[in-house]
Structures are given as structure tokens and as C-alpha cells.
Amino acid sequence: MDLDTVKERAGPRQFSPDDDMPREYREAATRMIQFHANSEIMGAYLERPFIREAPSLDRKLAYSAKTQDELGHGQLLYRAAESLGIKTREQMLDELANGDGKFLNCFHYPMESWVETPMIAFFVDGAAMRRQATLKRTSWEPYAHAMDKVVFEEGFHIKHGESILKELATGSKKEQEMVQDAFELWWPRIIQFFGPTDDDSTHHDFSAEVGLKQMTNDELRQSFLNQYLPKAEKYGLEIPDTPTIEQDEDGNYRVAEDELDWEEFFQIAKNEYDPGRGQIDSRKRAHDAVEWVRDTLDEYETTSGHAPQAAD
């Protein structure tokens, strides 16, 4: 199939591994899905330490389940990317462990305390839902199928994050002050979740033409602001003065994107500046620690002539 035909046929769940897709499409889809998968994995690594920090058994159980969900989402997405025939799952995991795999900028930053957890579990996951809901209509069918499960589970994550935020926002004066401080720290990073402005987006136009993406970065950012600014105010959070956010005559919130630190954003995206380098290092240590398991399984497969079977 040539590229012009792909653009003509582009639509929700239009293409599958049975289709002979041009390399340009397969490379673009692989890059997009691998980035998404990496972000799910690294988000889980960011949140994992707070299973122990959770203030109650119920919170520990819920946060543990959330972390497991995120890791499972990553594995689903690696398989969807693998179906494009450009990279194997193992290659993508190796790239992530070695620091070559790209992932969402907000997951590069460290989280220091429990009061920061709703910044990810409510606001970042809420931003993710704005994008992921549209990806149920992406043109690569395995990706769309994976998103059916991901979106369903992310809905529970957001509710859990909102529950944590409500508990903190209605707690002691100190808790309210701490969650406000966390919100002010994370707010610019949350707004940058959707990536660069449309003028500076490198891959959007092609991805939209072939049906991989449904909305622009700016459209997604505005949709998120319209929904989540009122929610932040509902829980008593004061919106920081910078970046400036104004409401237009149609009721849509507009952010002064030039007031955001896009230089740092692009440095992080290129791995030139990584405030959360410990995140990648932690992932690499975990990857290396179980290398002996992978080697043992590979050796078994080679010597026995078949892959190991899972227990019933």
C-alpha cells in the first residue's frame, strides 16, 4: 500500500498487521506507541515508592493495583508497537533501560512526598485520558484495541487520584498548604503534558494525515484546561499566576504558552537535561537485576527447541 492510499483510507481502526503498510507509516506508529508504552512504564516507576508511603492499608492496596495496571498497559502497548514489524518488544525495553527511549517529560521529575501523588494520579492521568480517549479511534487497530482496556482502567485511576486530592484538600491546614505547594510545583509540568505547541510539533501533521492522531496538542491542552481548572478550584487549589490563563468569550480557557519553560522541555525531550535521571537509572538497575532470568529463558528455548510454557 502506498502512502497516498493510506491517507485516503485513514480512519478509526482502519489498518491491521494483515495490511502491507508503507515504512513511513510503520515507523511513525512505532515511535508514537513506543513513546506511550515507555511513559506507562516510567510513570509506574515514579509512583511505585509511594505504595509504602500510603497512609492506610486501603490506599496501599489501591496504589499497588494502580502501579500494576500501568506496567500492564506498557506491556500491551509494546505488543501493539511490535505488531508493526519495526522493533521487537525486547529492543524497546532495552532502549528504555539504556536511556535511549523517550517518555513523557512529567515522568522525568522526581516525586518527594505523598501529597504530590494526586498531581500524577488525578491531573496527569486526567490529561492522559483526554488524549487516550481519542486514541480508541486511531488508525492502527492493535493500538486502538489496547486503548479499550487502558482507558477503562485509567478511569479508575483518576477517581482514586481525585479521592486522594479530596482527602488532602479537606484535611488539616498543613495538609492543605502542602497540597497547594505541590500543585504550584507541578502545574507547569501538567500543562506541558500534551507536548509542544502546534507550531513546534514535529510529528503531528503526518500522524493526523494517516489517522494515528485525532486532535492537535493545543486542542487537547484546551480541552483539559476546560475540564480540570474548575475541578482544581473545587478542591480549593489556587491557580498559579504563571503561566497566565484567561477565559475567552466562548468560555474556553487559554494559556499563555510562551510563559512556560519550553527550553527545559526540549532539553528533557532530547535527554540533554534530565532532572529525574534517577528514574532512568532505577529502571536500568531493575532491568539488569533480572537479566539472569532472561538469559536462562533464552538458553532453555535454544537448547529445548521451544519456548517455556506458562503454568496452568
pLDDT at 36: 97
Is 111 within the bounds of a domain?
Answer: yes
What is the Cα–Cα distance from 268 to 262, expressed in whole angstroms?
10
Is 107 within the bounds of a domain?
Answer: yes
pLDDT at 167: 96
Domain containing 66 equals: 3-304
Is 89 within the bounds of a domain?
Answer: yes
Is 311 within the bounds of a domain?
Answer: no
Is 312 within the bounds of a domain?
Answer: no
pLDDT at 278: 62
Q: What is the pLDDT along the chain (312 residues), one digit of tens a residue?
A: 999 999 999 999 999 999 999 999 999 999 999 999 999 999 998 999 999 999 999 999 999 999 999 999 999 999 999 999 999 999 999 898 888 889 998 898 889 999 999 999 999 999 999 999 999 999 999 999 999 999 999 999 999 999 999 999 999 999 999 999 999 999 999 999 998 887 877 778 899 999 999 999 999 999 999 999 999 999 999 999 999 999 888 888 888 888 988 888 888 877 666 655 566 677 677 778 888 888 888 888 888 876 656 544
Is 141 within the bounds of a domain?
Answer: yes
pLDDT at 297: 83
The CATH number linked to 71 is 1.20.1260.10
pLDDT at 280: 66
Is 310 within the bounds of a domain?
Answer: no
Is 7 within the bounds of a domain?
Answer: yes
Bond into 12 cis (ω within 30): no
Count of domains observed in the chain:
1
